[in-house]
Structure 1
Amino acid sequence: MQVTLMKSKIHRASVTQADLQYDGSISVDRELMDAAGLLFNERVEIYNIETGARFATYVIDAPRASGIIALNGAAARLAMPGEKVVIVAYACFDEAETETFKPRVVLVDRDNRILRD
């Protein structure tokens, strides 16, 4: 049996851009993608903390250390610059894998910089 678990998330990211004319996706700072283990074109769920909107799209990379979180295409109607979102990727695992798997959780500040403990 396969079980779907959260693979990774970027928590409380600030939307920096919304481009209705771009052909879909969410642009994510490459540094954040790497920290969360997100892949180019990977499906993600986006949860808008401000409005409760929930939607799916795919990830494309934005320049490393740019702080960019940009909603593109139709998704640009679901979160505006300045709003906080959670970006979540899921993966399927065998039941045995679930016992040892640990998701990657990336916490960011208001400028989308990774918070370090």
Structure 2
Amino acid sequence: MRKIVGGKLHGIRVTEANLEYHGSITLDPDHCEAAGILPLEFVEIWNKNSGARLSTYVILGQRGSHCCILNGAAARTCQPGDELIICSSIYVEGEQIADLSPAVLTFDSANNVVERLRYSVRQDEAGRYHFAILDESGSRLPIPLASRASPKRAS
């Protein structure tokens, strides 16, 4: 079995950090449903502001609230306004990868969904994998790649 991205909330902002609640992350059910993230599912959280990485489980907040509340110990790792990447995982057999199309939502500073993307993997006749990021219409988007230009040498 391989651990694969199940769904992702990319760039969602922390709306509150509640140290006194007994744990978890509270998210808007609309965002979770659109990304395929389930209540009580464990997710990995990566804080783009601080670099903190943690794991906790999801509880659902008020629908339409755009909330992203870190609770309990997780509240120490994030401040309101911090930009997060929240990723769920699924386990699949390697050959099942081509059957998946995980959702990726991107957000503005008010936690409105800006883009609804999909990851896509296919395997060609030679067994090589091909990865694509697709927009809502199914069009391929550019994938950021390292520059192939050789570094300039100091003279």
- With the shorter chain as reference, the TM-score category is over 0.9
Letter in 1 for 2:2: V
Query: How many angstroms apart in 2 are the aligned matches of 1:79 and 1:8?
Result: 21
Cα deviation code 1:61-115 (max 9, x no counterpart):
0111101000000000000001100000011001221122111101111111111
Structure of higher CA gyration radius: 2
User: Whose relative contact order is higher, 1 or 2, with alpha carbons under 8 Å and at least 6 apart?
Assistant: 1
Identity of aligned residues (%): 37
TM superposition shift of 1:32: 0.3
Cα deviation code 1:27-74 (max 9, x no counterpart):
001110111111110000000000100000000001111010000000
Letter in 1 for 2:52: A
Q: Which moved more, 1:103-112 or 1:16-25?
A: 103-112
Q: Secondary structure of the equivalent of 1:92?
A: strand
Q: Is 2:101 the partner of 1:84?
A: no
Residue matched to 1:113:
112
Letter in 2 for 1:64: R
Query: How many angstroms apart in 1 are the aligned matches of 2:38 and 2:98?
Result: 24
Paired residues in the alignment total 116
| Structural RMSD (CA) | 1.0
Residue matched to 2:96:
97
Runs of 4+ aligned structure 1 residues displaced above 3 Å come to none
Runs (5+) with no aligned partner, structure 1: none
Runs (5+) with no aligned partner, structure 2: 116-135, 137-155
TM norm structure 1 = 0.95
Query: How many angstroms apart in 2 are the aligned matches of 1:11 and 1:91?
Result: 17
Residue matched to 2:71:
72
Query: How many angstroms apart in 2 are the aligned matches of 1:65 and 1:87?
Result: 18
Residue matched to 1:7:
6
Letter in 2 for 1:72: N
Letter in 2 for 1:17: E
